[in-house]
Chains A and B, each alone.
Chain A
């Protein structure tokens, strides 16, 4: 795309809108456009004139609007950017569709081709990555929904969780692991000692007491609810 073809963000919105209307109805009328863009008829006229000047649309007042081949290519590019961004938000970042669509609308004009291409490639890579794939992504979604990777010591009595990592090394690490604290193990915090320090958890069908100092070494994912 040449520099001459570079148009403003709002004009890109117009051409994108025309593209969608044309796709639905074969041809667009200024009134449809004003409705879709939620703007006054007068601003539509100005924008259409500018697009016509750049030879992206065929436009004469009071007639229907169609895209020129160059306009169609330009519009397709904008739409592609929008969809790619939206998909990335939904699939990889686990944002819901509506919010993703709105964000894509704002970002599609400014994101460069290189970055966009990389985002698309990244989304593809994540989906097919050997140890990742759909599981990995659903893990991330899960992770985002909970948004509560925390230390075991931060949990309160009654909280349930799953161990995600044991950071301690050496003797403490080995002790914790020997007692069954490995990643993926569900547990429940039962209580704190009367003086507040060691905590008691239920894990692998038995009761284990450990100091907060040790519990700090254990990363957990808190389960929602009690």
Chain B
């Protein structure tokens, strides 16, 4: 096949402009599509082959501006300023053009080859908003292509424009955004100076640099400082700025922003005719209920409660199917394979371990389905609005809410979502409490224990209480952190509440599928590996003497002529069990469990739980998997589910179950989450503190719960 020429296209636009949906519509790789401002913190890439080109798409973080106040803005700004993209596609929400055009003015200043994708055109038409494309194109000096990412219309035309712009077949003269007279004079002076530096001007538009210097932008300063022209700039710049400020009688950066807004407003007024505001009133009507002073908070709690109810109630039936499927699989494998190490590894190690985890897939799917739905409808931002006061009181930010809710799914994206919090104290305090937001991987542990020790009618309520308890610990910890180690002013709360949109079934299911796939992949790789390791440490070293001793005793039972066949079989089975248990005790796992047993005894845990909890450092699902392995090894009777085995095991009672739930809820998250914490936190000191704090919290609270529960239950 012939090598295709590559065009690198950067998608830039406001949050909620449907950038990610457009990315998906073009590239086909579906990403998480949300309605929360700043959901795309990461850089997403994809490609599509069009004509003789391979168009490589880079989805830049959604930003309202590129003043580089946040990491997202910096990413977007650098990518375009450093001309890493051949073409910039500016995605604008056609139903909210005035605000969207503000970013456009800033993009235009960077002077890239640009195509404007006017997204949500289906809604624009439905709302009878008339847009004068010709005029808009003239004003922006870029082609404006109507598209609808949701309805997948206009995509071809957009690609066509990208290619033709790349080939320089579309050239629209571009007028500069003109500023107030005073600013223009200062700009002309600076630009003149900058243009004397040929290499710098070739790399960055001198006008953009001049504007940025006036705005006191650090990036522009560092660029200027590295160039030879700085010698002359250094002398002139303070004078120019002083004169300008004196003439404007306000901050220069502010006036520049005002002028940009004025341009955006002007362009909007000149090109857009609105017929009605129907969409707004629908949103307003929903908000008048959802954000109602009396109803808002109860409704928020109800919605959260509902999601957990659905997760548990609807998830139970398919969960049981999956569990019995794995039991069936284990039995079949056991029947087909000859007795020996291989069978034990496959049945007791792999099938029991992975099966235990995959069984909880339905619960996790439903939880993510609920969260994705809330996110893509626009309710998530409202939730932040509703809870901000409370969060602010405990020292967090309404925006901390999103990472924390994400934490219910998985701590890894939750830590990453903390990037939207720019204030260091806010961010670290939020990251520190995320482990207490019970992640999806911990759910199997609760489901297992609650199912085994509490009546079915109470289970959903207990589960909800567990989550609430985690939240309570998070709240108290946050308050503690903000009062001690992360003192200082927190980030302002200035946030868009997006218009309510009904997400397409396809996009919600797609997001759910991505989550499910990630979970299964984890089950297939990390958990598989850990299952094997756990199996190994549970089976080795083998105490040969022990096996011989028991074989002799079984032999003795069988030789006993006084007993009938039934009693003999029972006695032999009891001996087999005893052997397995002692063998486990002898293994690496047993020894490790024994070593830590004194430390966890006050919490009601025996060495077997010690083994499971230690294995849980690798991944929380492994706690269940390990228990599965240990119990599969410990009993050789009829195959039964782990739930039944736990229920019938006299060594356990509800107090221990509660204590274990609390410990798993609070103790340090899995290795991958911890490594992400380290990455995002960036300080070894913080990471160590985080491990120490979660462990201490888990131990102390489990101890308290166990002792209290023992007294009452």
> Which A residues contact B (CB, under 8 angstroms)?
166, 169, 171-180, 182-183, 185, 190-198, 200, 202, 204-211, 213-214
Contact = CB atoms under 8 A, between A and B. Distances in A.
Given A176-B494, A190-B287, A214-B493, A182 B69 contact: no
Contact-residue size bin, chain B (C-beta under 8 Å from the other chain): 35 or more
B258 A198 contact: no
B554 to A, nearest CB: 69
B473 interface: no
Given A171-B492, A211-B493, A196 B287 contact: no
Closest 3 CB pairs of A and B: A194-B296, A195-B389, A197-B389
Interface string B262-283: 0001000000000000001001
Given A194-B293, A204-B98, 11 more contacts: A171-B69, A177-B261, A178-B257, A182-B258, A182-B261, A194-B294, A198-B493, A200-B385, A207-B287, A209-B493, A209-B494
B254 A208 contact: no
Contacts of A180: 98-99, 102, 261
Contacts of A178: 64-65, 67, 69, 102, 257
Contacts of A213: 492-493
Contacts of B387: 195
Contacts of B294: 194
Contacts of A191: 287-288, 291, 293
5 contacts: A194-B297, A198-B385, A200-B291, A207-B287, A209-B496
Contacts of B52: none
Given A174-B69, A177-B257, A197-B389, A211 B492 contact: yes
Nearest to A171: B69
Contacts of A169: 251
A213 B425 CA distance: 18
A200 B496 contact: no
Contacts of A173: 254
Interface string B198-235: 00000000000000000000000000000000000000
Contact of B496 (A166, A179, A183): A179
Contact of B398 (A176, A183, A190, A198): A198
Q: Counting chain B CB atoms within 10 Å of each CB, which of A174, A196, A206, A208 scores highest?
A: A206
B253 A174 contact: yes
B496 A206 contact: yes
Contacts of B494: 172, 175-176, 179, 208-211, 214
Nearest to B261: A182
Nearest to B378: A207
A171 B297 CA distance: 30
Interface string B378-411: 0001001111111010000010000000000000
B497 interface: yes
Interface in B84-126: 96-99, 102
Contacts of B254: 166, 173, 177, 182
A196 B422 CA distance: 24
Interface of B: 64-65, 67, 69, 96-99, 102, 251, 253-254, 257-258, 261, 265, 280, 283-284, 287-288, 291-297, 381, 384-390, 392, 398, 422, 492-499
Contacts of B493: 198, 209-211, 213-214
B501 to A, nearest CB: 13
Nearest to B256: A177
Given A174-B69, A178-B257, A198-B398, A208 B385 contact: no
Chain A residues touching B, majority SS: mixed
B98 A205 contact: yes
Contacts of B280: 202
Nearest to B64: A178
Contacts of A197: 388-389, 392
B390 A174 contact: no
Nearest to A185: B261
A165 to B, nearest CB: 9
Nearest to A168: B492
B495 A208 contact: yes
A169 B253 CA distance: 10
A158 to B, nearest CB: 12
B283 A195 contact: no
Contact of A211 (B257, B258, B388): B388
B492 A195 contact: no
A200 B102 CA distance: 21
B258 A200 contact: no
Contact of B389 (A166, A179, A193, A204): A193
B291 A207 contact: no
A184 B297 CA distance: 35
Contact of A210 (B258, B381, B492): B492
A190 B257 CA distance: 25
Given A182-B261, A197-B392, A200-B291, A208 B496 contact: yes
Contacts of A177: 254, 257-258, 261
Contacts of A179: 64, 99, 494, 496
Contacts of A190: 284, 287
A179 B261 CA distance: 10
A175 B496 CA distance: 12
A183 B255 CA distance: 10
A76 B392 CA distance: 69
A195 B291 CA distance: 10
Contacts of A176: 494
A200 B494 CA distance: 10
Contacts of A193: 291, 296, 385-386, 388-389
Contacts of B381: 209
Contacts of A206: 96, 99, 496, 499
A194 B292 contact: yes
Contact of B283 (A166, A198, A207): A207
A9 to B, nearest CB: 43
Interface core residue of B294, B392, B498 (most chain A CB under 10 Å)? B392
Contacts of B385: 193, 198, 200, 209
Contacts of A196: 293, 389
A198 B391 CA distance: 11
B51 to A, nearest CB: 37
Contacts of B390: 195
Contacts of B389: 193, 195-198
